[in-house]
Amino acid sequence: MFKSRNMHEITWKKCGAFFIVGLILALAQAPFNLSFTYAAVLPFIGLYMRDVKNAKLGFVIGWWLGFGYFALTIVWIVEPFFVAPEVTGWMAPFALAFMAGGLALFWALAFHLTVWLTIAGATRLIFLALCWTLFEFLRANILTGFPWGHLSYALIDLPIIQLTAWIGIHGLGLILLIVCFLPAILIPRFRLGVLLMGTALIILSIFGLWRSSSLILPNVEQIIVRVIQPNAAQHLKWRPDMVNAFYARQLKYTGIKVEQSPDVVIWPETALPQLLENSLLNFQEIAEVAGQNASVITGIVRKKNGKPRNSLIVIGTAGKLDAIYDKEHLVPFGEYMPLANMMNKVGLSNVVGLAGNFRPGQGSRIIQVQNLPNFLALICYEAIFPQYSNSSKNRPEWIVHITNDAWFGSFSGPYQHLVQARVRAIEQGLPLVRSANTGISAMIDPYGRVLKSLELETAGYFDHILPAALPPTLYAKIGELGWLLIYSFLMIFCIKNMFKGSKY
């Protein structure tokens, strides 16, 4: 369809090449964890984009690059459609193409804007890093937001990830892009650029090692946490002949006696099989099995004003309901259907019916109960949003994340979800305890390190003492302001050079 005679025209070969580059870039994310691909792929992108003159080509490059990246990164999105394959299986490839293509538009607009507003040269690459970061921030916040697969998450097992405690994922992403563009920025001194890129990454890693070198002590109260993982596969979870089996499994793990009994037991999202209104007898049974000194945190569905809520509850002694938190940020197309009323009016009620009919909660995320340190409650999807961990003036002492990752399959989704939860711990300097239905459940320290875990698709439990919290991080204090200050300084530099008409 496209024919070209030079690099500034659009060809299908060029589109395919950048699609493959996007796939390679995605190998940095879990479960592959090949983060070194950034040091190879990002300089190549910078070299090519430095001299592109056609803004339309910039859009096409950005879109195909993003399409390849997101197609592999969020390939797990097809998994929910195969829980009932005879009903929704046919929708899986269309859902993946639609989602990956939509997310790729953010990258396409960043690349288009860069070529449109700048001339070829080094300043363009700094501006590209700024535009890319801006549109990733928009992707994380507009249309309910979906920050899944941010470039920064691929650095989770490297010391450089500790920078998120100061500047969050967007600030780290900006620095990563600029550092990896150095070989292209310093053309024709490419080798010097590679040397500076490597040096910068080493220096940033030293900062990360310095931050995470302190010893994490147990919490003052010596709280022992027991995490339950029932491993209820999604296609079996609500089957009538299996519901009681999974409930009994959770009771069994809760009641196992050890030398040091747990102070709190955590079950995963929607762990209880009945509505809250029908579970009072279950609460008493759970409290009896847990023991008179232990609270139980669990997920359940409840109804309020006739509409379901995805909730986290705390069951205290004698089966008393001590606290309720209703999930605030629901999953679009999963827990609710966006624009459902409009779709019903145009005859798409069958499509609307494929999604849930949940309603969001509006209560406090900070749970305060007797016998437990105050904690921040996150349910499933909410752990991918940094702002929710950073939204309260009353700092909690730990984070509790309950989730049902059975929807995500067993290839990449659960691993990526765990990574994002680990980064939330780093950003806040708080320990995070994660109970996942099919895994991966984990005790995570304030540096994002996994202290104890249960592997994917494994039934079991573990006990671990809750680590102490660190002092509030810079990110916990000022949120996105830190990286926005860096962003503003670099934007002023770029605008100044652009008005001068300088390539540098």
Is 327 known to be catalytic? yes
β-pairing, 224-229 vs 460-465, is: antiparallel
What whole-number distance in Å separates Cα of residue 30 and Cα of residue 65? Answer: 18
CA-atom Rg of the chain in angstroms = 24
Report the relative pairing of strands 307-315 and 432-436 from DSSP bridges.
unpaired
CB within 8 A of 426, min separation 6: which ones?
161, 162, 164, 165, 446, 447, 448, 473
Contact (Cβ atoms closer than 8 angstroms) between residue 300 and residue 276: yes
> Which of 269, 328, 382, 397 is the catalytic position?
269
Q: Are 366 and 344 in contact (CB under 8 A)?
A: no
Residues 6+ positions from 95 with CB-CB distance below 8 Å: 77, 78, 81
User: Quick check: bond before 31 cis, omega within 30?
Assistant: yes
Catalytic residue among 180, 380, 397, 494: 380
CA–CA gap between residue 478 and residue 365 (Å, rounded): 19
Which tokens hold the place of 18?
């950048």
Give one DSSP letter per residue of 288-300, joined into a string.
Answer: HHH-TT-EEEEEE
Of the residues 180, 327, 427, 480, only one is catalytic, namely 327
Active site residue 13: no
How distant, in Å, are the alpha carbons of 91, 280, 342, 350 from that of 346? Answer: 20, 42, 7, 11
DSSP state of 316: -
Structure tokens at 335: 């827990």
Q: In what order do the strands lie in the sheet with 366-367?
A: 366-367, 375-379, 398-403, 432-436, 441-444, 450-454
The whole-angstrom separation of Cα 179 and Cα 201 is: 7
Sheet holding 307-315, edge to edge: 321-326, 307-315, 295-304, 264-266, 224-229, 460-465
The yes-or-no answer on residue 9 being catalytic is no
Where in the sequence numbering do the catalytic residues fall? 269, 327, 380
